Amino acid sequence: MLPVSQLRGASVALISPMTQFGSEIVIDIPAFRRLCATAIDAGCTGLLVGGTTGQSCTLLHDELLTLTQEACTFGRDYAASLGRHINVFAGVAANATHEGLALTRKLFSATDVEALLHVTGYYNNPPQEGLRKHFELMADAAAEFGRGIILYNVPSRTKSNLEARTTIELARHPAILGIKEASGDLAQIRAIAEGTDRKSFAILAGEDDQVVEIMRLGGIGVISASANVWPREFQVMTELATAGLWNAAEELQAALLPCVRAVFAAKNPIPLHYMLDSRLRLPLVELGDLEEPTRARALELIHAAGEILCFPHVGAHFGLSMIETG
C-alpha cells in the first residue's frame, strides 16, 4: 500500500483532452501523454486521472480505464527515464455504492494505479452515516488489492459535505490514506488535522487558492486543477511549505492567484480546455459558446494570467503556452 508520505507535493488533476473525430468528441491520447510528460518534467509528484477536472461524469468507464492505463504505463515509463517515480491516481465518481465498488475492483484489477480518489455521493446527498458506510466499503475493496483510497470532499459540486467527525472516524481505516479537502472550510480542515494522525492520514488541499493555508494546518500537498498549466509553480509552492519557508510559499501563492482565477473563471474545466486547446463534451460547452458577459470576463482573466512570465522563487514560467485569441 502506498505510504502516506508519498502523497507529499503537487499532483495534477489532469484534464481529459478531447478532439473531434467525425461527429464524436473522443479522447486525445497524444495530448494526454503530453500533459503527463509536462507534469513530470515540472517535478510534480502525482497524476490524477478522471477527477472533476477530468470530466469524470462524461467519461465512460472504459475511457477512464484507458486513461488510467496510459498514465500508469506511459507516465511511469517517462518518469523512470528521468530517474523518477510518479504516483498515479484515478477518480471514482459514483453516487451508488454498488457502482463504486464495481469500478473500484475494475480499476485495481486492470491497472497499477496506486490509489483511487473517491468523491462523496452526489445528487442523492446521503447522510453522514451513509457516507461513512460507503467509504468503508470502498476502502475494504481497495484493501483486497493491497491498495488504498483517498476521500474527496467537494460540497460545491456534490452538495454533500463530509463532516470532520466523519472524516476522523474514516481515517482509522488502514486503506483510507487521506482526504482531498475542497470544502473551503478551514475550521473544518483544522478539526480534521487535530483529530487524525499525520503518519497514517494525509490532508491534501483541494482548493488551489488555499494550498499554503491548508499546509500550515498540517496538509502535505495539493491535487490541483491549475497545475495543468502551472505545474512547476504548484510543486515549488508545496516544497517551500514543506521546508517551512512560509513567507516564500505565501508570496508564490499570492502570485498564482490570477492564474487560479483564470482557471475558475467559468465552470471548471471549461477555461482549462480553452487554454490547452482541447474540446469538451456536453453538457459542458466551449468557452466561445458562453454568453456575455461571462465569456468576456473569462477571457480577460485568462489573458491576464497568461501575461505573467515569472513567479517568485520559481523563475520563468514553466507550463504549457496558452493559445492566442484575437
Annotated catalytic residues are 152, 180
Q: Which helix (H) or strand (E) holds 91?
A: strand 87-92
325 CB-near residues (< 8 Å, 6+ apart): 299, 303
Distance between CA atoms of 175 and 138, rounded to whole angstroms? 9
Q: Please, are residues 269 and 15 in contact by the beta-carbon 8 Å criterion? A: yes
> Within the chain, what is the greatest distance between any pair of CA atoms?
54
Of 27, 72, 26, nearest to 48 (Cα)? 72
Measured between alpha carbons, how far is 14 from 238 in angstroms, rounded to an integer? 18
Whether 181 and 203 have beta carbons less than 8 Å apart is answered as: yes
Joined grid coordinates for residue 254: 499570492
Residue 26 DSSP SS3 = strand
Q: How many CA atoms, within 13 angstroms, populate the side-chain half-sphere of residue 137?
A: 16
